Structure 1
Amino acid sequence: MQLETERLILRKFEENDTERMFLLDSNPEVMKYIGIPPVNDIKESENIIKMIRQQYTDNGIGRLAVIEKESGLLIGWSGLKLLTQPINGYTHVYDLGYRFLPEFWGKGYAIESAKASLDFGFNELNADIIYAHAHSQNEGSNHILKKLGFEKTGEFTEPDGICFWYELVNTNYTSITKHE
């Protein structure tokens, strides 16, 4: 599976993505609102990629590596995954997520990649609702979710604080691929 936008390619993770994934996972700014500490061993990033690749096999979907077309670099990840462990009491639902290296923040990449994933979720997976969550203090992520049309429908507590729970219903989503 591969998705493409004007500036980005979203593709399945490959084993050779480990070094760039480690840059992401070991960055304290990136991991600030995730609820887990930054990784300090590249083997941990290798294992994360193996876990995501297993999700492709087990669930038919998982987060995708985001490649900036201009540089050819992996700049983060984005996309849908099937929740197999409960989050806020929900399982077996599609969850949108994204994470980018700080030097790529503020360029609209999270929204651009998320729109491609939402189009895929609603148009290809025929999802009725796609969910997302963000730490209450993560202003950037909460802003992005609202801009995408997600509606905050609840809150739940994680060990690192309160998270907001969001839902986007297919009928409330304006696809970027629909032509008028």
Structure 2
Amino acid sequence: MIITTNQLLIRAFQSNDTEAVYQIGSNPELTQPLNMTAFQSDAEAQRFLQMLQTDPDAWALTLKTTQEVCGIVMLAPNLAADQVSVAGYELSFALLPAFQKHGLMSTALPAIMQHYQQTQAVTVFNAACFLDNRDSQKLLLKLGFQADYQTQLPAYLGGQTVQYFRYLII
């Protein structure tokens, strides 16, 4: 499955995406907001890429013009009370620094959310941002997310306070 926007092809990860995954995963500016430890080796990047390849909710953002991977969007399902149905998804996303501030994520996230709404009838999307991650907060508000609540992460996840945002498709 490929989702397209004016600038992007949003697709599943492929085995030849190792370099881009390494660039994203070894950059502390990108991994810290994702609450990940930066990769220390190519082997870590390769293991992460293998995980991304098996995850139907992990998307590579690639430029239409060059096919270059410039970012990542991952969705984690939130189960409904029946513990089977998906009630919504939590979004995580990152763009390589050279591709930030070009409106790519502003078009990628709505396209992905529309895809999930049309194919799975999902109407709830959540995202958490560290309080100092103003760029992501600004993006989410621009896209129509509403600030929902703040919570402190457990110590094993760093213990920082995050702001949760929620988007409801009506």
> Which range, TM-score by smaller chain?
0.7 to 0.9
SS state of the match for residue 39, structure 2? coil
In 1: Cα distance, 2:37 partner to 2:148 partner: 28
- Residue in structure 1 matching 2:89, options 94, 107, 115: 94
Matches within 5 A, 1:103-114: 103-114=98-109
Residue 160 and residue 70 in structure 1: after superposition, are their counterparts in 2 closer, same or farther (change >3 A)?
Answer: farther
TM-score, scaled relative to structure 1: 0.82
Residue 12 of structure 1: how far off its partner (Å): 0.3
Match of 1:28 in 2: 28
TM-score, scaled relative to structure 2: 0.86
Among the aligned pairs, what percent are the same residue?
Answer: 21
SS state of the match for residue 33, structure 1? coil
Query: Which amino acid in the other structure matches residue 24 of structure 1?
Result: I
Residue 92 and residue 170 in structure 1: after superposition, are their counterparts in 2 closer, same or farther (change >3 A)?
Answer: closer
In 2: Cα distance, 1:124 partner to 1:80 partner: 15
Match of 2:83 in 1: none
Structure 2: gaps spanning 5 or more residues: 80-85
Query: Which amino acid in the other structure matches residue 155 of structure 1?
Result: Q
In 1: Cα distance, 2:78 partner to 2:19 partner: 26
Matches within 5 A, 1:27-176: 27-56=27-56, 62-83=57-78, 93-158=88-153, 159-171=158-170
SS state of the match for residue 149, structure 1? coil
Residue 68 and residue 160 in structure 1: after superposition, are their counterparts in 2 closer, same or farther (change >3 A)?
Answer: farther
Does the 8 Å contact 2:34/2:92 carry over to 1?
A: no
In 2: Cα distance, 1:92 partner to 1:111 partner: 23
Query: Which amino acid in the other structure matches residue 119 of structure 2?
Result: E
Residue 83 of structure 1: how far off its partner (Å): 4.6
Residue 151 of structure 1: how far off its partner (Å): 0.8
Structure 1: gaps spanning 5 or more residues: 57-61, 85-90, 172-180
